[in-house]
Every structure is written in structure tokens, then in C-alpha cells.
Amino acid sequence: MHILPFVHEGIAPEAVEGAGIEAVNPKKLIFSKSKLAAAGLTAAPAVVAAPVVVAAPVVEVAPVVAAAPVEAAPVVSEEDQLRARAVASEGDNLKVIEGIGPKIEYLLKEGGIFTWAELANTEVARLKEILHNAGSRFTMHDPTTWPHQSRLAFEGKWDELEALQKVLDGGRE
């Protein structure tokens, strides 16, 4: 709504009601011709200028709604993640590699080696470390040929793998 000092001879404040204009202190703003002449103004109808006050637009603000608390995911150790991966995912059958049985396959998967490609890219020293950490009954195994055998299996060179395994004894050359 605009608030204007509205002055015009003979217009009462009631005449502007409902027009969206409100007279400010209308008793002081309605002048007769004689009062205007006394003030040095013409006797013609006039509007006295005054500052215009425009109300700010009403902005609706949505209520603030608190978000539901988010629970942090449980912290799972790397070892437990690997163990879960070994259980949940068979990966490749590592037992096709000469010298790897069910127990060593489990140890390798616990160590994060699930596929022929992973085994093919694992250093022999890492394989020996996995066997050593599992105890003395596993240290007698020799993983030297496992990465090469795994590479052949990964590449689908089954005839070459079979020929190699015929000359191996428990995975040893």
C-alpha cells in the first residue's frame, strides 16, 4: 500500500478509502483556497509532494525442518573387509594352480588375492609373507610358479598351463 500525503481542496479523507491510498494526518493536509493563498500558493487544486513510503514485499519463509540424524556407517577393519570379500565372492578358482589347495586358497583370499589376475601380479615375496604369517605348516610351500601359472589361466592359455603343470611337483619346478 502506498502512503501519500494527499491534498486536494474539498477531498475528504473518506473519499480516498478503498483506493489503496491512505492520507497521512488528513486534518493537516486538506487546505482551503484561502490557506493556500496565504502560504503563497495558487488557489488551484494542488497536490503537495511528500516522500513516498512503499511497504516491502512480504516474503514467506519456509519453516526450518531439522534433518533426521544420520548414523555413521560402522567402521570395518581392512582385514574384516577382505574376509567378507573372500566369503561373499568366490573370485577365480585359485585351486587350478598347481600347489594351491583349499587352505592356501583361503589364505590368499584373506590376503586380498581373489583372481588369477591378482595372483599373476603379486610378487613372490608377498606370497611367501602370506604363507609365513599363516604358520610353519604353510612355509614349506613354494609359491615361485604361482604368478606364472595364474597368468596362463587368466589369459586362457589352458594347454600351456596343463603342459607346465605336468612338469611341476606340488607347484615346484
- Which of 36 and 65 is assigned the larger pLDDT? 65
Write down the pLDDT at residue 24: 46
What gap in Å lies between CA 128 and CA 136, rounded to an integer? 11
Looking at the whole model, is its pTM more than 0.85?
no
What gap in Å lies between CA 116 and CA 148, rounded to an integer? 10
Q: How confident is the model at residue 35 (pLDDT cuts 50, 70, 90)?
A: low
- Which of 137 and 7 is assigned the larger pLDDT? 137
pLDDT at 76 exceeding the cut of 90: no
pLDDT, tens digit, 9 for 90 and up, residues 98-111: 999 999 999 999 99
pLDDT at 88 exceeding the cut of 90: no
Amino acid (1-letter code) at residue 81: Q
Write down the pLDDT at residue 73: 65
Write down the pLDDT at residue 7: 46
Q: How confident is the model at residue 32 (pLDDT cuts 50, 70, 90)?
A: low
pLDDT, tens digit, 9 for 90 and up, residues 128-169: 999 999 999 999 999 999 999 999 999 999 999 999 999 887
CB atoms within 10 A of CB 92: 18
Interacting residues of 90 by C-beta distance below 8 A, sequence separation 6+: none
Is residue 173 a contact partner of residue 145, using CB atoms and an 8 Å limit? yes
Query: Residue holding cell 574376509?
Result: 83
CA neighbor of 124 nearest in space, from 151, 94, 145, 103 = 145
